[in-house]
Amino acid sequence: MSQYGKLAKVYDYLMSGVDYNDWADYIFTIAVKFGLNPKVILDLACGTGNSSLSLAKKGYQVIGVDISPEMLEVAKRKAAAEKIKIEFIQQDMRQLKLPYSHSIDMVTAYQDGLNYMLEDSDLLEVLKRVYQILSPGGLFIFDINSVDKLPASSGETTCYDEEQMTLIWESSYDKQGDIWEIVLTGFLKRDNGYYEKFKETHREKYHTRSKVLDYLKQTGYEVLAVYNAFTLEEGRDSDKRLYYVARKGSEVK
């Protein structure tokens, strides 16, 4: 079972408390601060399209990329229902390569997208791939959750029980590898009254601020800022979520 396979059916319900318009406003506050008025935006790890839709509603051309076909199917239906034109592409961000030429002014990746890169080499590869598709002067804005967000001890179990579904999260934390793992077992009620069981495993890795900055510089980015999430205050290792703002140089390397 792929990550976000069956969960795609209930993902939006679980994330109903997230204000994606606020996320988009924050992204554009950052873009304006650094003098960018993007025309084409690529939204990595776009999931069910909430982030892509919030960006598109600002009048910009958006391309959404995600590894999960199930999540993208939900995204496509929502965009069609709202009559918003967004191109959705199924792709692993480690193999990011647009099928035809685009001038990409800005790339976004938030909601833990890069935390799913469990190997340092994978994170570095994503940074390189994004650098290759960005237009000179373009911005890459992404977040990474810090270790403070992750469970401090293993064996934690959380249950979410509603009439239409029951979800059980069993979480553990590998301190040596800085990897947080969740085994999700779910029961979704079908139209016939029976329940469908599924099981998915999700893993996220903590990437230190110093490592991310080093990889960005190695790749050729100019690091413009590291913010404590949803502020313009300088981010610290102790912050739960950091936003990185990196710019591709005006000269193609």
Report yes or no on 253 lying in a domain.
no
> Based on the domain organization, do 42 and 124 belong to the same domain?
yes
> Based on the domain organization, do 167 and 216 belong to the same domain?
no
Q: What's the half-sphere exposure (Cβ side, CA atoms, 13 Å) at 40?
A: 10
Report yes or no on 114 lying in a domain.
yes
Report yes or no on 23 lying in a domain.
yes
Region of poorest pLDDT, from 61-65, 151-155, 205-209, 232-236:
151-155
> Based on the domain organization, do 126 and 210 belong to the same domain?
yes
What's the angle, vertex CA 23, arms to CA 22 and CA 25, rounded to 5?
60
Look at residue 20 and tell me whether its pLDDT is greater than 50: yes
> Based on the domain organization, do 59 and 156 belong to the same domain?
no
> Based on the domain organization, do 39 and 81 belong to the same domain?
yes
Per-residue pLDDT, averaged over 101-127, amounts to: 94
> Based on the domain organization, do 231 and 194 belong to the same domain?
no
Report yes or no on 53 lying in a domain.
yes
Look at residue 1 and tell me whether its pLDDT is greater than 50: no
Identify the pLDDT of residue 253: 43
pLDDT in tens, 84-103: 999 999 999 999 999 877 88
* Backbone phi, psi, residue 81, to 5°: -65, -35
Q: Which residue has the tokens 């199924």?
A: 90
Burial class (CB in 10 A: 0-12, 13-18, 19+), 65: buried
Q: Residue 248 and residue 107: Cα distance in Å, rounded?
A: 11
User: Can you name the residues that pair with 75 across neighbouring β-strands?
Assistant: none
> Based on the domain organization, do 137 and 34 belong to the same domain?
yes
Identify the pLDDT of residue 4: 63
> Based on the domain organization, do 159 and 69 belong to the same domain?
no
> Based on the domain organization, do 70 and 130 belong to the same domain?
yes
Its domain, for residue 53, covers 6-147+206-247
Q: Which residue has the tokens 């209930």?
A: 10
> Based on the domain organization, do 142 and 228 belong to the same domain?
yes
Burial class (CB in 10 A: 0-12, 13-18, 19+), 186: buried
Q: Residue 224 and residue 222: Cα distance in Å, rounded?
A: 6
Question: CATH no. for residue 131?
Answer: 3.40.50.150
- Longest CA–CA span in the chain (Å) reads 60
Report yes or no on 182 lying in a domain.
yes
Per-residue pLDDT, averaged over 119-138, amounts to: 97
> Based on the domain organization, do 59 and 90 belong to the same domain?
yes
Identify the pLDDT of residue 229: 95
Enclosing H/E stretch for 210: helix 209-219
> Based on the domain organization, do 68 and 175 belong to the same domain?
no
Q: How many domains does the chain have?
A: 2
Identify the pLDDT of residue 159: 87
Look at residue 6 and tell me whether its pLDDT is greater than 80: no
Per-residue pLDDT, averaged over 199-222, amounts to: 94
Enclosing H/E stretch for 31: helix 20-33
